[in-house]
Chain A
Amino acid sequence: MRKIISKFITVFLLIGSFVVLMITNIALPDKEFSYSERRKLAQIPQLEISEIANGDFFEDLEAYFLDQFAFRDFFRKIDSFMRLRFLQQKEVKGIYIIDDSLYKIEYPLNEKSVQNIAQKIEQITQEYSQKLDVYYAVIPDKNYFGAQVEKHLSLDYQKMLMLMQEKIKSATYIDLFPHLKKEDYYHSDIHWRQDSIFDVVNKISAAMKTDYRVNRDNFIINKLSPFYGAYYGQSPYKIEADELIYLTNESINRAQVYNFYTSQYTSVYNEEYLNNVDGYDVYLEGAVPLLTIENETSKSEKELYLFRDSFGSSIAPLFIEEYRKIHLIDLRYVSFENVKEYIDFEAGNRILFLYSTTIINNSLTLK
C-alpha cells in the first residue's frame, strides 16, 4: 500500500507540476518589464507564415515562454543556489559578491578590441592634435578591485594599457587607476558614484594643466532611491538597493543640455529616469549619441570634447563650471564622421577620451 501511495505521489508531483505550471503560465497575465532584472520581457510573437517557415517564430515563442514563466525569479534563485551551494562555484554567470557589493568578471582580455579602440582614438587624435590638446584615460571596471580581494579572474590591465600606449602616440595618457577604489562604485551597479570621483576630476584637470579643482563642499548632494543597478537583476545575491547620488550647484542648475537626437534642450539631471531600465539614465539622459552641455554664465570660453561611455554621463557635470561648452560624444551610437556634421572641432580647446575597461574590451561595435 505504501508503495502504491509513494508511486501515486511521485506521478502526481511530476506530471502534476507540468500541468499546474502550464495552467498557471496561461492564467497569469504577461508582464512587460522585469523590475528585478531591469529589462523588458519578451512578448508573444506575431504569427506570420514566413516566421514559422524559417523557425524564428518558435524560437521567439520559447523566449516568450522563458521570460513570462510563472515564479521566474524564484526559479532563477534555485539555479543560483545550486551553483553556489551545491557546485561550489565562485560566481554565477560572472557575478560575485564582496561585502554586500556586487562585481562582474570581465575576462579575458580581447586584444583585437583594445587595438580597435586605440586605433580609433589615434585616428581622431591625429586629425586634431595640431590644434587641440588631446588626452585619454581609462576607468578600471569594478572587477579590477574585486578580483584582487578574492582571486577572481580579471583582465590583464597592464597589457591592455600597454597595447593602447603602443597605438596611441598623439594623445597624453592620464592614469586614473590610483585614484579609484572599490568603494567608489555603487554596490548594485557597474558605475562609479558621482560623489566619489572628485579625486578623478582633479587628476584629469591637473593632467590637462588647468587650476580647476573640486571637492565635496562645492556641491549639494541629492539622493534618489531605490536605485537598482545593472548587476542587481543579474545577481543571485540579495542585497540592499543603492541610493543614487547626484550633485548640483549653481552652474549645474543653470546649465542646459542640447540633445542632437531630439533637437531639444533638457536639464543635466532627470529624476524620472531613475525608473528606466537603467537608473543611471538620471545623468544626462543616459545613452545618447551626441549632447552639448552649455554653461552660458561661465567666465571661461573653453570647450571640451568628451568621447565617453556611460561613466562620462556622471563625471561631465562636475566639469561644467570649468567649461562654457562640453560636447559629449558616444561612439557606440554615432560615427565620428557623423559627429563632425554637428560639432565644430575647430572651436574648442581639449579632447578627452574617457572609456571604461569594459567598453575597451568590447569595442568592436563602436561606430
Chain B
Amino acid sequence: MLFSSISFLYYFLPVVLIVYFIIPNRGKNFVLLIASLIFYFVGEPIYSILMIASSLLGYIHGLLIDKYRGTKKAKVALISSIICGVGILGFFKYADFFIANINDLFKSELGLLHIALPIGISFYTFQILSYTIDVYRGQAQVQKSFIKFATYVSLFPQLIAGPIVRYTTIEDQLSQRSSSWDNVYNGSKRFIIGLAKKVIVANTLAEVGVLFANSNDKTVVLYWLVAISFMLQIYFDFSGYSDMAIGLGRIFGFDFLENFNYPYISKSITEFWRRWHISLSTWFRDYIYIPMGGSRVNVLKWIRNILLVWLLTGFWHGAEWNFIVWGIYFGILLILEKLFIMKILKKIPAIFHHFYLLFLVLIGFVIFNANNLSTALTNIYGLFGGLDIPLINSETIYYLRNYLVIVVVAMIASTPLLSKIVTKLKEKAKGLKALQVVEPILLSLLLFIVTGCLISGSFNPFLYFRF
C-alpha cells in the first residue's frame, strides 16, 4: 500500500488511528503489528511470508547470539544471520543480474529466474542485520518478544521505503512510549508536509520525464530540464516519504532519526552524503566502512574501503550497472575531494562550491535515472550538445513554460529558506499569532490539494520502492 493512495489515507490510516488510540497500552504493539502486516499484504500478498520469515530468522539469530554470547557459537550465529539476510536479498534482488552477466561473459544460456523484487526487502533486511550485529556487539539488548521484534521490522511507517531505522533507535520505545497530544500534532503536520512534497511537487516534476520519453524532438535545453527536474523529483519523492514515515512514527510515539537535511545546500560531495539518505550512509559507515578500518589505514587501503563501500551503496539501489557506476562515481569523487579538490575549493568563493556540488550531483542522478549505462551516456552527451540536436525548439519552450513554476518552487523548497522564515516568525509575538492561525488552514489546504491530485489520477509510485 502506498501512503499516497486513497486506500491508505482515507481507509487504512483512520481505522488504524482509531483502534490504536482506543486500545490499552499493552495491546498497541499488537495493533501496529497487525496493521503493518495488512499494509504489506496489500502491496505484496505473497512476499508477506518472506518478510515474516526474515523477521523470524532475525529474531532467532538474536536469541542465539545472546544465548552463546562470548563463545564462538555467537559468532557462528552472527555469520549465519548475515548469510541468511544477504542470501535472501541476493537471491530476490540480484539473481537475474548475476545470471545475465554470467551469460554475457561466458556466452552461456542460463535461464533467467524472473523474480519480482519484494517491496522494501532492501530496507527491512538492513534493519534486521543492524539488529543482529548490534546484539552481537553488545550495543543492543536482545529482544525476547517476537511481537515486539516483528513490530520493529514490519512497522508500516518505515517498512517499504525507509528510513532504515536501527533497532537501537527505537529499542526503548518498543517497550514503553507515550502517546501525547504534541506527538500527534507534530506527527500529523510532518506527515501532511511529506505527502504534499511527494504528491504535489515530486509527481508534477515526474511528468517532465514522461514528456521527455515521448518526445521526438529533443533539445539540449530539454535534456537539462529533465535532469534538473529529476534531481528535484527524487529529493522531494524520497524526503517526502521520509517525512511521512517520521511523522507517522511520531503519531504512534516513535522517534525516527532524520533522513535528509537539505542536501542541495551542501558545498561538497562529502557534505552532501552527510545530508542525503542519512540512514543508509550511516549504515554503511557503521557496518562496513569502519569495520574495514575506515580512514585509519594507509591511503591505498582507505581508497579500497571507500570504493568498496560506494560500490555496495550503488548496488544496494538496484541490480543494474548504472547503479554500480553511480556508486563508484561518488566514491571516486569523495576520494578526489579528500586528496585534492577540497584544497582547491577552499581557495575559491563559496558560491562556486554550490555550483560544483549541484553540477556533480546532477550528473550523478542522470546516471542513476537511466535504464542502463548506454542511456546514461547518451543523456550526458545530450546535456553538453554531444548529440546532433538543436539547442531549443518550440516543444521545449512549451514544456519550460508549463513546468517552470514547479521547478522554481521546488528549488526554493529544497533550501531551508521557508524553515528559516517560520523560525523568524515564531520569534515575534505577532508572527507567532499569525502562524497559529495560518498553519491549520494551510495544512488543511495542502491535504485537500493532495486529495485533488490523487483523485485526478496524477499518481506515481515512490521511486524508492524498487530498492
Question: Residues of A at under 8 Å CB distance from B?
Answer: 2-3, 5-11, 13-15, 17-19, 21-22, 25, 52-55, 58, 61-62, 65-66, 69, 72, 75-80, 82, 86-91, 93, 108-109, 111, 151-153
Contact = CB atoms under 8 A, between A and B. Distances in A.
Nearest to B459: A66
Given A7-B181, A78-B452, A65 B10 contact: yes
A79 B456 contact: yes
B453 A62 contact: no
B402 A89 contact: yes
B448 A55 contact: no
Contacts of B456: 75-76, 79-80, 93
A21 B398 CA distance: 38
Given A6-B439, A75-B448, A108-B215, A87 B204 contact: yes
A262 to B, nearest CB: 34
A66 B398 CA distance: 31
Contact of A17 (B15, B46, B214, B447): B447
9 contacts: A2-B436, A14-B188, A19-B17, A21-B451, A66-B455, A79-B452, A88-B404, A108-B216, A151-B394
Contacts of A111: 216
User: Quick one: which of A22, A61, A91, A93 has the most chain B CB within 10 A?
Assistant: A22
A18 B6 contact: no
Contact of B185 (A11, A76, A89, A152): A11
Contacts of A151: 394, 398
Interface in B399-421: 401-406
Contact of B443 (A13, A21, A109): A13
Given A10-B439, A14-B447, A108 B188 contact: no
A62 B433 contact: no
A82 B452 contact: yes
Contact of B13 (A18, A93, A109): A18
Interface of B: 1, 5-7, 9-11, 13-15, 17-18, 42-46, 181-182, 184-185, 188-189, 191-192, 200, 204, 214-217, 394-395, 398, 401-406, 433, 436-437, 439-440, 443-444, 447-449, 451-458
B97 to A, nearest CB: 24
Which 5 pairs from chain A and chain B are nearest by CB?
A78-B452, A6-B436, A79-B452, A79-B456, A65-B6
Consensus secondary structure, chain A interface: helix
A9 B6 contact: no
A75 B217 contact: no
Contact of A22 (B1, B14, B182): B14
A17 B444 CA distance: 8
A175 to B, nearest CB: 24
Contact of A6 (B11, B14, B204, B437): B437
Given A82-B452, A88-B405, A90-B401, A18 B437 contact: no
A69 B440 contact: no
A15 B182 CA distance: 14
B286 to A, nearest CB: 36
A72 B184 CA distance: 28
B398 A18 contact: no
A157 B167 CA distance: 62
Contacts of A152: 398
A14 B192 contact: yes
A58 B43 contact: yes
B438 to A, nearest CB: 10
A151 B46 CA distance: 50
B457 to A, nearest CB: 7
